[in-house]
Chains A and B, each alone.
Chain A
Amino acid sequence: ETGVTQSPTHLIKTRGQQVTLRCSSQSGHNTVSWYQQALGQGPQFIFQYYREEENGRGNFPPRFSGLQFPNYSSELNVNALELDDSAVYLCASRSSGPGDIQYFGAGTRLSVL
């Protein structure tokens, strides 16, 4: 148990739809990162939030957006879904510095048809 929970576990959407994924961080962690893990690949960094502000972004288009709330829970929103968005989306939380341990949730598997 990492203390990081994600919901839903699995969902199916069709191309063009919008989706919201949720993450509850481990207690005391003020930094959350989101990753996309395509089948058979390593996780790819999407973005990071620190104290409700985005402070880093990977090579993902603007239709990937996020929010972090005062209680440090967070959301990942994806608009105009494409088939290639099918992947497992991972949330990870940590307390502060880049060398600190990240704790990962079990992920949300998104299938886009």
Chain B
Amino acid sequence: GDSVTQMEGPVTLSEEAFLTINCTYTATGYPSLFWYVQYPGEGLQLLLKATKADDKGSNKGFEATYRKETTSFHLEKGSVQVSDSAVYFCALSGEGFKTIFGAGTRLFVKA
């Protein structure tokens, strides 16, 4: 069945460092791909999405490119801030209806 694998955390970075969180997926067909973020004490929020191969989703300085050839959707940000500290979830939604999430990667950003 469909699945999502993302890098284990926690990831600890200093402010202004470059961030990469790896995400790979297994799916039949052509799923839509998502990154969600969960800030401490809050619910899940959609960060960005991509619906077809080579699409780049971007929001708040974060980017991810839908790579069909490598079945990947890695999250990147050029300069992280303390306020980016959160748990990040990679997810896919296939030809069915359910969204499948990765296990999440916790990010800590130090001032």
Contacts and interface: CB of A to CB of B under 8 A. Distances in A.
A106 B75 CA distance: 24
B96 A43 contact: no
A2 B102 CA distance: 22
A107 B45 CA distance: 12
A58 B104 contact: no
Interface string A1-30: 010000000000000000000000000000
Contact of B43 (A98, A101, A105): A105
B103 A56 contact: no
A58 to B, nearest CB: 6
A2 B45 CA distance: 8
Given A48-B97, A56-B96, A99-B32, A42 B104 contact: yes
Interface of A: 2, 31, 33, 35, 40-45, 48, 50, 55-56, 58, 90, 92, 98-99, 101-107
Given A101-B46, A105-B43, A42 B103 contact: yes
Interface in B43-99: 43-46, 49, 51, 89, 91, 93-99
Contacts of B102: 42
23 contacts: A2-B43, A2-B45, A31-B97, A33-B97, A35-B99, A40-B104, A41-B104, A42-B89, A42-B91, A42-B102, A42-B103, A42-B104, A43-B101, A50-B97, A98-B94, A98-B96, A98-B97, A99-B32, A99-B51, A99-B93, A101-B49, A104-B45, A106-B42
